[in-house]
Amino acid sequence: MSLLCFLAFIFLPVVKCFTEVQMALMVPNDTHRLFSVDIVLPAVNIGILRARSFLPSDVNFTVHYADSKCHIGVGINEAIKLWYAGKVHVFFGPVCDYAVAPVARQTRFWNIPIVSVGAMAAEFKKFHVEDYPTLTRAGAVDFTVFSALIHKFLDQFKWNKFKILYEQQGINVSDDFCKIMSSSIYYTPSNKRKDYFNLGDLGDLENIIISEIGIGYGGMYIGWLEFINGKRDTTLIPRPLQPHILVDLFFFW
């Protein structure tokens, strides 16, 4: 409530005062993306309707949309423009890890909240207090929790060594999605023997399996290839004798 409004409120009790909540929505405008604006904006509007139902009627919401392009530079540039235009009380997004990181570091100095359903990398949790204190991660996927889950599976089956064969990109989620997920699993503290290998362009899988897994990481339970190319090659890979849950989990991801 501005001072003017406050004075008017005292001297002219019939004047109604409005509180305008300015929301900055920063997601890509790209229908191929999981968090495209055409999906997110209707959800934001439903959220506002619900909030209106229990907030005082003089609280109003305005959504300012900016296209983050899922990009490390574009996101922060749009955030700065909105901020200097005086159009932000809260940021919703960016979602992609590389786009949200610089914005979430900056909002600390502006002292305004930022809510993201992305920011999945373990770093956002690890450096929350120092670097991202105004960031709230509200997403379904958090690689820290996911990595802990993977380690629970490894413990359950007493698998004491593992090697991650990963592709850099996920499909249209965010840049380096699979790499960031793999590194979260790899860097989860444990006393297991571990290694990783970037599959690159998925060249010669059979030789990669021999040279990268071989007898060093091989054993009864080689099954990760199924996730890599999405089909089950039972002649090349011995079937796991234990439940397939780990394999299927990766296949799903």
Residue numbers of the site for ligand NAG (CB under 6 A)? 18, 29, 32, 37, 60, 65, 171-172
Cβ distance to ligand NAG smaller for residue 88 or 237: 88
CA dist 90 and 93 (Å) reads: 10
Minimum gap (Å) between residue 18 Cβ and ligand NAG: 4
Minimum gap (Å) between residue 43 Cβ and ligand NAG: 13
Minimum gap (Å) between residue 157 Cβ and ligand NAG: 32
Minimum gap (Å) between residue 181 Cβ and ligand NAG: 17
Cβ distance to ligand NAG smaller for residue 29 or 106: 29
Minimum gap (Å) between residue 196 Cβ and ligand NAG: 25
Cβ distance to ligand NAG smaller for residue 102 or 170: 170
Cβ distance to ligand NAG smaller for residue 174 or 184: 174
Q: Determine whether 5 is exposed, middle or buried from the number of CB atoms within 10 Å of its CB (0-12, 13-18, 19+).
A: middle
Cβ distance to ligand NAG smaller for residue 32 or 231: 32
